[in-house]
Each structure stands twice: as structure tokens, then as C-alpha cells.
Amino acid sequence: MIGDLKDHERNLQSTEIIYNSILHKESYNDSLAKHYKLLTDEEEFLARQSAFESLKSIGIEIISNDTLRQDIATAYLYLNQSSNKITDVTKSARELETLLKPHIIVDREKLISDETNTWVRSRGVPYKFINYKSFLNDDGFLYALMYSIRKRRTQIFTYKVYINGLEYFIGSIEEEVKSLEKK
């Protein structure tokens, strides 16, 4: 789960690097290529809901501690809201990809020299810009980039809250189990 968070933070950082390079109309360089690749990466929120679904089918009333039962139900609702924020990031990444396409072409030279097809594992077809200076003036792309940054920041905040909540619930459940063992 922490690895997933690091992927989300990496994608946000790449989005911010691209934003700053476009905002300041910096020349394209090879180090930006990896950030453009991550710009449209769609990391999923990998929260598992099977335990709660099992608990619901058995009956959440099995948990005798009212506070803990309510906290678990609240966490599940929060998890569903988090999933919606991930959908927003996915939509934003797809919009960026759509807006980027008119500015790029497939880099055939890289494809020809890539005899082992590493582009398949690297999550994207190699491309190059048709006219990078023109691209830097695309305010629609800049606006979509700003929107993406906002959505990615919200996603990361939500993810961190979710992780902290899970740690709290695990502690609460451990305390409840210990108290039941004493009875």
C-alpha cells in the first residue's frame, strides 16, 4: 500500500515538473521525457474491500463495541468516496493524453533501434514533439495540467488519510480482541 502511495507521489511530482517547464517555457530536454511518460500514468487505488464485505454478509452487529462498529462502517463509506477521487485522476490523465496527441508523433527512429521492444514494458510508445515551442503556448493543455495537479494532490491527501485511518482501526481492533480474550 505504501508503494502505491509512492507511485502516486512520483506521478504528481512528474506532473508538477512538466507544469513548471511549460509555465516557464523551458526548452525540451531528454530528462523531461520520463516525466511526460508518467504524466498520463493512471495508478489505481488498491484498497481491498473484501474483509468489510464479508463482515457485512455475516452481520456487522457481530462487533460488540459500538464505537468500533461505527468507525468501521464510516471507513468503508470513506473508502468509496476515495474511489471516486481516483476516477477523477484517471479522467484527468486521459484528458491530458488527448490534448497531448495533436502535438506528438511516433518516434520511428527509437522504435527501429529498439529491437527488444522495451517500449512495451515502459508503458508507452516512444514519441517526439512536432513543434515543442508551439506546444508550450497551448493554454488548454496548461489548464488541464493545473487541474491534474489539483486532482492528484487531493488523491494523495485522501490516500494518506485512508492509510492513517487503517492504522487507527487496526489498533482499535487489536484492543477489542485483547479485551474479548480477557473475558
110-131 tens-digit pLDDT = 888 888 888 777 767 788 999 9
pLDDT confidence band for 51 (50 / 70 / 90): low
Q: What is the mean predicted confidence (pLDDT) over 149-157?
A: 90
Output the pLDDT for position 84. Answer: 55
Determine contact, residues 82/76, Cβ cutoff 8 Å.
no
pLDDT confidence band for 150 (50 / 70 / 90): very high
Rounded distance between C-alpha atoms, residue 13 and residue 69, angstroms: 38
Q: Which domain holds residue 64?
A: 2-182
Determine contact, residues 175/14, Cβ cutoff 8 Å.
no
pLDDT confidence band for 20 (50 / 70 / 90): very high
Count of domains in the chain?
1
Determine contact, residues 6/41, Cβ cutoff 8 Å.
no
Rounded distance between C-alpha atoms, residue 164 and residue 55, angstroms: 21
Per DSSP, helices labelled H in the chain are 2-23, 30-39, 50-58, 66-100, 108-113, 118-121, 132-135, 139-182
Q: How many CA atoms lie within 13 A of 135 on its CB side?
A: 21
Output the pLDDT for position 15. Answer: 96
